[in-house]
Structure 1
């Protein structure tokens, strides 16, 4: 079942073409990777998939909804993890996640259970440590938990393990793989080709805004 359809997607900035008329489809419950060098258009593509920026031309359909017309509804189904994800460093992780749960309108009782599950699954056992006192790896885990606090149906992640040590990177990759088992559709960009090979069902290769190749990795 196709969950996301992208047709002739294009994004221009003052005459510069960041994404140049690309096409692809993402099936429900799969892990879809986007790879390419810096400047390939990966982040711009992910931001358009998340409804954060508007395409210059082309279309994105999510579960049959047009992202231009139904962006609010789509965002309720979405979890987004940017590469650079500033956090409220003076807050405890629990308070921070509860704050975002309230923004999404998650019932407090439901949010409490969900936060407990996420902290346990991500091994975030630092109840009395403020976010600013945490390691970079732990902060990244908080950002991932934030992206999942609304129990999204699909998750968009930009360089989810960028700058992390190999052990933390491997743990987060395994955690993302476990999300697929719960029916989540996951789209992420990466420079780590081993990570892409180990996780992805499909891979889109980009360069200078163009789609070079699309590979079905496994089924």
Structure 2
């Protein structure tokens, strides 16, 4: 509804500006009948001043309308950015994000130093909770990248929910109700975490049609 209103206002603004420009051209070319009649009686200088004052008022009103439209659009995008962030404050999404972040950390360390390292179970319990870890199978002292991938698989429903939430951004950006640049600034690292997970990438490759919006979002990077 808000987007439709913005579109209507934009069209109205364009018409106002177009009519103003055409009227000015008509004055100089002296080709519009009502302009000739306008100057045919009374104090010409006074009439001329009044006419141009009216045109100036139209331009000012059009300018203010343009500013109002842009301000309203920016406010909507900012509000949606805040609402989008709130979606990730839920515990189930925060924990999926944590596992993805750890996978990315181990992957980067392996690529940079050529070492295969893991996460101590005590650290995982602090971050995720003991019950969350148990769902991933038998408890281990050290959790390597493969173990964390298995943990994601054990929480597949929550992972899909997390991916689906990010996917919403693509549709919002397409509809111009979410600022792409601001979104990238805030969420690009989350998308990069997805790329580091074998579990996520396999899901995207196996179900490309289902995850087409998320794939499109990742391609924006």
Fold-level match, TM-score > 0.5? no
> Of the two, which has the highest radius of gyration?
2
TM-score (norm 1): 0.30
Q: Which has the higher strand share?
A: 1
Q: Which has the higher helix share?
A: 2
